[in-house]
């Protein structure tokens, strides 16, 4: 059998209507618009206010959009992977809820947890399934309702995160296109620099865990910043070197949107002109697994077949990585 490739043939997205501005945050915690903008690049983020709606709702909307934009019958989908740290339930997987909602009756579905690197790791998993010949069409979704695990009394973290979802459809190609290469890393030594202390089997929910706000995410910002800046820049340089790419060759950097300063440092290291960097952190903040597919969706009209993209992310775990993609449509 000749080598198969997994190309991205479409994108979809969902962001909630409610806009949480820096000005509104000034009324909730001791912060200010100028601090948030200059330290992070964020002006506003979207929040899913409806208490009955959760991550599966946003993931479903993003999936429906990519199916519609590509003219795909949900019954053609072989696999659904949802990357998230904010599943509707501990189990079943949010991907199972999406499978039902979109009517993908032939698909099997599961979640992937790699925090802010979740979409990249899911993209790699989905593309490997296609390259192996076992799947033809895979839906890869990054979705997070971060507002469900943010402590709105903690100014160190509550200004950073927002809610949203993005989806891509992967399809099999004979030509060399799509996911060409990837480099992924994990360092479990620093697992507690960015994590949600309770709610898992180590500290199940109790009065104490609720009283201590242990169901919200915790981040030690400064060390994570340092490691993210080094990690994203290093891994992006590594994937370029492996594939003989210079800053001139790369058409787009698609970075995880955690901090504008981290994104700029990565672009600098790659020798990229700022005009080639996808940035929407100002509008959405850090939507964890959704940042990269949200960028792909927003820029999809400006992408041409053959464009060379470097996707890169860093997050809890710690996890990080870069993926080299040739745009397929
Ligand atoms: O997506 C997963 C990976 N995550 C990341 O990549 C995030 C990495 N970290 C960061 O982006 C940055 O560390 C933050 C944006 C979270 C924080 O920026 P920083 O420049 O590292 O600030 P800092 O934590 O060192 O805090 C500086 C000062 C402190 O005051 P003192 O101790 O110098 O008096 C903080 O208390 O800023 C204070 N501060 C705030 N002030 C106003 C912290 N949060 C706020 C706030 N508003 N919201």
Q: Tens of pLDDT along 168-217?
A: 999 999 999 999 999 999 999 999 999 999 999 999 999 999 999 999 99
**CB-CB contact of 260 with 281 (8 Å):** yes
Assess whether pLDDT exceeds 90 at residue 1. no
Closest atom of ligand 1 relative to the 316 alpha carbon: 2
Q: Between helices 55-70 and 94-102, what is the axis angle to 10°?
A: 40
| Mean pLDDT, residues 318-324 taken together | 98
Boundaries of every domain in the chain: 5-176, 180-326
Architecture in CATH for domain 5-176: 3-Layer(aba) Sandwich (3.40)
Question: How far is residue 202 from each of residues 24, 32, 89, 198, 302, measured CA to CA in Å?
Answer: 35, 36, 17, 7, 46
**CB-CB contact of 46 with 101 (8 Å):** no
Assess whether pLDDT exceeds 80 at residue 34. yes
**Of 260, 35, 286, 21, residue with least CA distance to 161:** 286
- Report the topology of domain 180-326: Peroxisomal Thiolase; Chain A, domain 1 (3.40.47)
Pairing between β-strand 5-14 and β-strand 18-21 as defined by DSSP bridges: unpaired
Assess whether pLDDT exceeds 90 at residue 2. no
- The single residue of 259, 280, 286, 295 carrying the catalytic annotation is 286
Mutation test of ligand 1: which of 222, 233, 316 has the most ligand atoms closer than 8 Å to its C-beta? 222
* Residues framing ligand 1 (Cβ under 6 A): 31, 35, 39-40, 116, 155-156, 159, 221-222, 224-225, 228, 258-259, 262, 286, 314-315
Predicted confidence at residue 140, as pLDDT, reads 99
What is the Å distance from ligand 1's center to 107 Cα?
42
Known active-site residue 96: no
Predicted confidence at residue 164, as pLDDT, reads 98
| CATH topology agreement for domains 5-176 and 180-326 | yes
Known active-site residue 286: yes
Q: Compute CA 246 distance to the chain's CA centroid, rounded to the nearest angstrom.
A: 25
CA distance 315 to 197: 16
On the 0-12 / 13-18 / 19+ scale of CB atoms within 10 A, 181 is middle
CA distance 20 to 11: 25
Helix boundaries (H) for the chain: 22-26, 33-40, 55-70, 94-102, 118-131, 155-158, 207-211, 221-242, 260-270, 281-284, 291-299
pLDDT band at 328 (very low <50, low <70, confident <90, very high): very high
Q: Is 165 helix (H, G, I), strand (E, B) or coil?
A: strand
pLDDT by residue (tens digit) across 46-85? 999 999 999 999 999 999 999 999 999 999 999 999 999 9
pLDDT by residue (tens digit) across 267-319? 999 999 999 999 999 999 999 999 999 999 999 999 999 999 999 999 999 99
Known active-site residue 184: no
Strand partners, 25: none
Strand partners, 73: none
pLDDT by residue (tens digit) across 211-251? 999 999 999 999 999 999 999 999 999 999 999 999 999 99
**CB-CB contact of 156 with 219 (8 Å):** yes
The pTM of this model reads 0.97
Predicted confidence at residue 98, as pLDDT, reads 98
- The single residue of 158, 256, 259, 295 carrying the catalytic annotation is 256
């Amino acid at each position: 059998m000749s080598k198969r490739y997994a190309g991205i043939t479409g994108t979809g997205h969902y962001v909630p209507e409610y806009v949480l501005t820096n000005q509104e945050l000034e009324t909730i915690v001791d912060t200010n618009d100028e601090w948030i903008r200059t330290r992070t690049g964020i002006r506003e983020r979207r929040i899913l206010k409806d208490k009955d709606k959760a991550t599966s709702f946003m993931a479903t909307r993003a999936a429906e959009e990519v199916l519609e934009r590509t003219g795909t019958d949900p019954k053609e989908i072989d696999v659904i992977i949802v990357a998230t740290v904010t599943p509707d339930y501990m189990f079943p997987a949010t991907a199972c809820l999406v499978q039902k909602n979109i009517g993908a009756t032939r698909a099997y579905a599961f979640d992937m947890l790699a925090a802010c690197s979740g979409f990249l790791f899911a993209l790699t998993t989905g593309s490997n399934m296609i390259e192996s010949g076992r799947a033809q069409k895979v839906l890869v979704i990054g979705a997070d309702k971060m507002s469900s695990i943010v402590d709105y009394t903690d100014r160190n973290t509550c200004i950073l995160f927002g809610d949203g979802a993005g989806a891509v459809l992967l399809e099999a190609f004979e030509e060399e296109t799509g996911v060409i290469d990837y480099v992924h890393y994990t360092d479990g030594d620093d697992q507690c620099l960015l994590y949600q202390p309770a709610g898992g089997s180590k500290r199940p929910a109790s009065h104490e865990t609720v009283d201590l706000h242990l169901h919200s995410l915790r981040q030690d910002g400064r060390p994570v910043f340092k490691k993210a800046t080094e990690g994203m820049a290093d891994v992006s340089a590594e994937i370029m070197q492996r594939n003989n790419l210079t800053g001139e060759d790369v058409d787009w950097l698609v970075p995880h949107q955690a901090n504008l300063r981290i994104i700029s440092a990565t672009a600098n290291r790659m020798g990229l002109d700022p005009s080639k960097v996808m940035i929407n952190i100002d509008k959405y903040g850090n939507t964890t697994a959704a940042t990269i597919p949200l960028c792909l969706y927003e820029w999809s009209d400006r992408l041409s077949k053959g464009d060379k993209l470097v996707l890169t992310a860093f997050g809890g775990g710690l996890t990080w990585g870069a993926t080299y993609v040739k745009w397929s449509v």
